[in-house]
Amino acid sequence: MRILKAFLVLALLSGSAAAVSAGYTPDFDRGVDVKQAIQAALEAAASAGGLLPELPGRQQEAGPVWVSMEKSDVGGLDGALFKAAPAAQNKRIVIYEFDADRVAELAAGMHRAYYRAPGFFAHDTLESALEDLKAPRPVPARAYAIDQAARVKELLPLVKEAPIVSAIASLSAFKNRGSRYATGVDASKWLQKEWAKLASGRPDVSVAPFKHAAFPQESVVLTLRGATEPDNVVVIGGHIDCVAGYGDTLAPGADDNASGASVTQEVARALIEGGYRPAKTIKFIGFAAEEAGLRGSADIAAAFRKDGVKVEGMLNLDMVNYKGSAKDIYFVTDNTSPDQNAFLGKLIDTYTEYTWGSFKCGYGCSDHASWTKNGYPASMAFESTFEQYNPSIHKPVDTLAQTGGRAEHAFKFARLGVAYAVELAK
Ligand SMILES: [Zn+2]
């Protein structure tokens, strides 16, 4: 399987199976024929007997997990999911103990009933879950200024579609990036190696895994250290795991969320290529275990708060490559920072020709919620309105082929990401 994967990636990057050779490095500046590359990868996979000759074993998680969710969501779910009375509750939020193995069933139920994923937080301990019953930590108000036009306009042309396509294709070639799958661990390791390549030759850029106690998949963190205010941190990220129902299924997760992780990478790649040295530190994060209850981002945001890290802002990219609505970019208005959302809208108006809108996403909607509840200004940029998002997600058909092998829509988010990074990390 590893040979197949390596072959796939090489075939994809080289644009032709015949050109595969060890040590090949794609040169995006000289151009990669995206359509040809995708076709070659698909043909290589087919000739090797298909993408999924066998399915990976799941690592069992020992012990219980505590889930916090909105009470109003419980009624629409199959009662059989809940084996016992709530462990705790307040007027709005309820906490249940779950067998760790059954959290995926809850996630699938939430997706079926409300089209939300996951829509809850999963916690390693009851103590951590009880925190969700408290009033959320206030997000301090802050002013935003847009005054880096020269730098942004210099860096924006460096953003390219081809590297985004390549990263989505590679990530979605893993059979299932679930946080407890061997292939989910492999995908994280693969991303760490890719990001380490970006860091080479830049002593101010480093890559490290963020390890989680409760599951084997690691989050991936690329740090672009700030030149003058390194303790102030801007976070851009998207989850790397994926899901397709529950059980041992093929889950390419191209749009949800290889797209957001790949855009995160492209923002970093473009800034590094442009020799950009921010005043503040920028952390690019591929979050583990979002689909399992926002567990990766919750661990990281809580660790940042515990360590007193000053987070200037967080931009979450979760599903960005399917244009389902009239406008280009949509922002989630609940569990996010209204000020930062307005700032992002202004960035779009100032630096791009794109249009934008907004919608509500609900409790525990994606990784931005982990940052908001820790008192950090967070936003979520999304591909469409809530009603019109990609119908293929959480299914084996969430492939790059669904967007014609292109990342035209995701490309817009990468340009927004560059503007956001430069105007916030100044
Ligand atoms: Zn997602």
Look at 28-37, 172-181, 238-247 and tell me which has the smallest mean pLDDT: 28-37
- Please give the pLDDT value at position 17: 34
| Residue 70, beta-bridge partner list | 93
Record the pTM.
0.86
Domain identity same for 27 and 167: no
Domain identity same for 177 and 317: yes
Domain identity same for 68 and 165: no
The tokens for 339 are 């000020």
Q: Which of 124, 318, 367, 398 is catalytic?
A: 318
Instruction: Please compute the mean of the pLDDT values over residues 328-355 and round it to a whole number.
Output: 98
Q: Does residue 301 lie in a domain region?
A: yes
* Contacts with 178 (C-beta within 8 Å, 6 or more apart), sequence order: 58, 184, 217, 241, 242, 243, 251, 291, 292
- Please give the pLDDT value at position 135: 87
Over the stretch 80-137, which tens digit does the pLDDT of each residue have? 888 889 999 999 999 999 988 788 889 989 988 998 889 999 999 999 999 999 988 8
The tokens for 144 are 């935003």
Domain identity same for 41 and 172: no
- Please give the pLDDT value at position 61: 59
Contact of 314 with 376, CB cutoff 8 Å: yes
- Please give the pLDDT value at position 363: 94
Strands (E), 333-418: 356-359, 378-382
Candidate ranges 55-64, 105-114, 242-251, 316-325; pick with highest mean pLDDT: 316-325
Q: Looking at residue 114, what DSSP letter applies?
A: H
Q: Does residue 402 lie in a domain region?
A: yes
The tokens for 74 are 């419980």
Q: Does residue 100 lie in a domain region?
A: yes
Among the candidates 133, 161, 179, a domain finishes at 133
Domain identity same for 118 and 155: no
Instruction: Round to whole Å and give the CA distance between 329 and 170.
Output: 25
pLDDT > 60? residue 410: yes
Q: Does residue 28 lie in a domain region?
A: yes
- Please give the pLDDT value at position 194: 97
Annotated active-site residue 368? The verdict is no
Q: Work out the percent of the chain whose per-residue pLDDT is above 90.
A: 73
- Residue 402: band (very low, low, confident or very high) from pLDDT cuts 50, 70, 90: very high
- Residue 190: band (very low, low, confident or very high) from pLDDT cuts 50, 70, 90: very high
Cα 325 to averaged position of ligand 1 atoms, centre (Å): 18
Domain identity same for 222 and 91: no
Q: Which of 111, 123, 368, 394 is catalytic?
A: 394
* Contacts with 137 (C-beta within 8 Å, 6 or more apart), sequence order: 305, 373, 374, 375
Among the candidates 133, 158, 188, a domain finishes at 133
Nearest to 264 by CA among 284, 240, 290, 283: 284
Q: Which of 105, 218, 256, 398 is catalytic?
A: 256
Domain identity same for 41 and 98: no
In the chain, the number of structural domains is 3
Among the candidates 107, 133, 159, a domain finishes at 133
Cα 70 to averaged position of ligand 1 atoms, centre (Å): 19
Q: Does residue 208 lie in a domain region?
A: yes
pLDDT > 50? residue 241: yes
Q: Which of 61, 161, 290, 367 is catalytic?
A: 290
Cα 151 to averaged position of ligand 1 atoms, centre (Å): 31
Cα 384 to averaged position of ligand 1 atoms, centre (Å): 13
Instruction: Please compute the mean of the pLDDT values over residues 150-172 and round it to a whole number.
Output: 98
Cα 279 to averaged position of ligand 1 atoms, centre (Å): 31
Of residues 244 and 219, more confidence is placed in 219
Q: Judging by beta carbons within 10 Å of its beta carbon (0-12, 13-18, 19+), is residue 10 exposed, middle or buried?
A: buried
* 203: containing domain: 149-424
Q: Which of 105, 161, 218, 291 is catalytic?
A: 291
Annotated active-site residue 290? The verdict is yes
Candidate ranges 29-43, 126-140, 173-187, 351-365; pick with highest mean pLDDT: 351-365
Cα 289 to averaged position of ligand 1 atoms, centre (Å): 10
Mean pLDDT for the chain overall:
87
Cα 117 to averaged position of ligand 1 atoms, centre (Å): 7
Domain identity same for 305 and 192: yes
Annotated active-site residue 61? The verdict is no
- Please give the pLDDT value at position 249: 81
pLDDT > 50? residue 18: no
Cα 234 to averaged position of ligand 1 atoms, centre (Å): 21
Cα 21 to averaged position of ligand 1 atoms, centre (Å): 34
Nearest to 390 by CA among 122, 117, 175, 180: 117
Domain identity same for 34 and 73: no
Domain identity same for 29 and 114: no
pLDDT > 90? residue 208: yes
Q: Does residue 52 lie in a domain region?
A: no
Q: Does residue 54 lie in a domain region?
A: no
Domain identity same for 83 and 177: no
Cα 292 to averaged position of ligand 1 atoms, centre (Å): 11
- Please give the pLDDT value at position 99: 86
pLDDT > 50? residue 237: yes
Domain identity same for 125 and 192: no
pLDDT > 70? residue 20: no
| Residue 359, beta-bridge partner list | 332
User: Which residues have a beta carbon within 5 Å of ligand 1, which is an ion?
Assistant: 256-257, 318
CATH number at residue 297: 3.40.630.10
